[in-house]
Amino acid sequence: MTTTIDEYLLIPPNWANPVSYRRRWQTTLTSSLKADESRSALFTWPRRTLSFTPLTKGFTESAYIKRKLHEGLDGVWGIPYWQDRTVLTSQATAGQNHLHVDSNSYKNFEVGGSCILIKTVGGLPVSEVRVVGGLPSSILINLTTNLGTTWLDGAEVYPLIKARIKSGQAINLLGSRFSQMEIEGTEEYDDGVTRRIGSASGFPIYKWYPIFDIEPDWAEQGGFSLINPYDQLSYFGKSVTLSEYDETEILLRLSFLERQKSDIQKILDFFDSRMGRWGNFWVPSWQSDVRVTAAFGSGDNHLHIENIDYLSYWLNTGAGTYITLLFPDGTRVNKQVINASSTTLTLDGTIGKACSSSSLDGLLVSFLLFGRFGQDEIEVGYLTDGVGKTNLTFQTLFSEGFS
């Protein structure tokens, strides 16, 4: 059943505040006393939410948004995905059923979904909505019906979300004629849409699972938490230490800032491929967990390291058994540690790439952690329509690791 749009909200965002785009999966999770997990994915496609801050710039826009919300707050709204703007590269004449655009890639254009053309006339938006019939190339959008209006080269085109606006929307009054408000629209179910669900293609694979190897934004502070709920009955005064965990788990929190739409989409696609908390993958700790002290050749199967008591603390653990070597040229090699002494790691095979003494300072050797996402919803805060920031949490799953 196709969802009918009751009203449109076409006042653009104030880009001084990020435009928030969220994709939410749903996972049920049951955990045993030993932290073994049973997970089930409840959604077959992610639900989307768009939040932004429209800023009315005068009486006309303020009156427009007030009357629209007053009349139709409980209806289904058509809202442009403001971060997915594209423009016509040639005039679209009334009667034609296709649009030539600069790019429809890495945007929420979907076959069976709606798109909208927008221009401003007399201070108010004028628009035309059509259903996308096909996306034969990255610069062409086919429509299921002909255009009723001629649109000039440079006109803006957006994919459209059919959404319910959250009740209780507050308008912040900035004066008698100016106002600002937070709009949050959550996707309404709409039949007949070929939904784009991302994959982990393009990410490296190790032992049958992908590696989320995108480097975090170090301008933001990350987090490394250790989880072992050993403190029992402490409210009686004297606490009792009790833990069934075989190993302390790790929660890794990292931020990512991407400056290209394709890089933002790569993160969203990976999150889709794991369906939020449901699917497993590898992630580097991105820390210098092991310091290599001597050069090695491509045919070597051991590393000389600074003494970190690896044999006592990390060997045969989920946290330390797998390591990833990131070379200065960006090459990554993943290995399993099968034996160790105080200053040597023996690997499960030859390294396959040499590192000279002069390159050791640029070699990052991190633990390679096996786990899942710690969240079912990913949020991208778009600072512009092409720059976005997201925060991700990773939860280790040592009980599901490899021997």
Residue by residue, pLDDT tens for the chain (403 residues) are: 678 888 888 888 989 889 999 999 998 877 766 666 678 888 888 999 999 988 777 677 777 777 877 777 788 989 999 999 999 999 999 999 999 999 999 999 999 999 999 987 776 778 899 999 999 999 999 999 999 999 999 999 999 999 998 876 666 666 666 666 788 899 988 777 888 899 999 999 999 999 999 999 998 888 877 766 766 555 556 666 666 667 778 889 999 999 999 999 999 999 999 999 999 999 999 999 999 999 999 999 999 999 999 998 888 888 889 999 999 999 999 999 999 999 999 999 999 999 999 999 999 999 999 999 999 999 999 999 999 999 999 998 887 766 5
Per-residue buried b or exposed e for 209-218, using 16+ beta carbons within 10 Å of the residue's own CB: bbbbbbebee
Range of the domain at 299: 205-400
64, 57 contact by CB (below 8 A): no
Final residue of a structural domain among 136, 154, 187? 187
Final residue of a structural domain among 136, 158, 187? 187
**Domain identity same for 88 and 236:** no
Count of domains forming the chain = 2
First to last CA, the chain: 49
**Domain identity same for 215 and 341:** yes
pTM: 0.89
Q: What's the confidence (pLDDT) of residue 167? A: 78
292, 355 contact by CB (below 8 A): yes
**Domain identity same for 133 and 253:** no
Q: What's the confidence (pLDDT) of residue 278? A: 94
Question: Is residue 192 a part of any domain in this protein?
Answer: no
Matching residue, tokens 């200065």: 328
Q: Distances from the Cα of 158 to the Cαs of 132, 235, 264, 396, in angstroms?
A: 11, 56, 18, 39
Instruction: Give the whole-angstrom CA distance, residue 150 versus residue 152.
Output: 7
Question: Is residue 25 a part of any domain in this protein?
Answer: no
Question: Is residue 340 a part of any domain in this protein?
Answer: yes
**Domain identity same for 119 and 264:** no
Instruction: Give the whole-angstrom CA distance, residue 363 versus residue 355.
Output: 8
Question: Is residue 272 a part of any domain in this protein?
Answer: yes
Question: Is residue 197 a part of any domain in this protein?
Answer: no
**Domain identity same for 287 and 161:** no
**Domain identity same for 110 and 248:** no
**Amino acid, single-letter form, for residue 2:** T
Which positions ≥6 away from 235 have C-beta within 8 Å?
Answer: none
Question: Is residue 112 a part of any domain in this protein?
Answer: yes
Instruction: Give the whole-angstrom CA distance, residue 91 versus residue 133.
Output: 19
Final residue of a structural domain among 187, 217, 250? 187
**Domain identity same for 228 and 174:** no
**Domain identity same for 151 and 241:** no
**Domain identity same for 235 and 369:** yes
Q: What's the confidence (pLDDT) of residue 71? A: 77
Give the containing element (helix H, strand E) for 387.
Answer: none
Instruction: Give the whole-angstrom CA distance, residue 11 versus residue 55.
Output: 7
**Domain identity same for 122 and 233:** no
Which positions ≥6 away from 382 have C-beta within 8 Å?
Answer: 18, 19, 20, 21, 82, 83, 388
**Domain identity same for 255 and 176:** no
Question: Is residue 24 a part of any domain in this protein?
Answer: no
**Domain identity same for 293 and 353:** yes
Query: 255 burial class (0-12, 13-18, 19+ CB within 10 angstroms)?
Result: middle
Question: Is residue 40 a part of any domain in this protein?
Answer: no
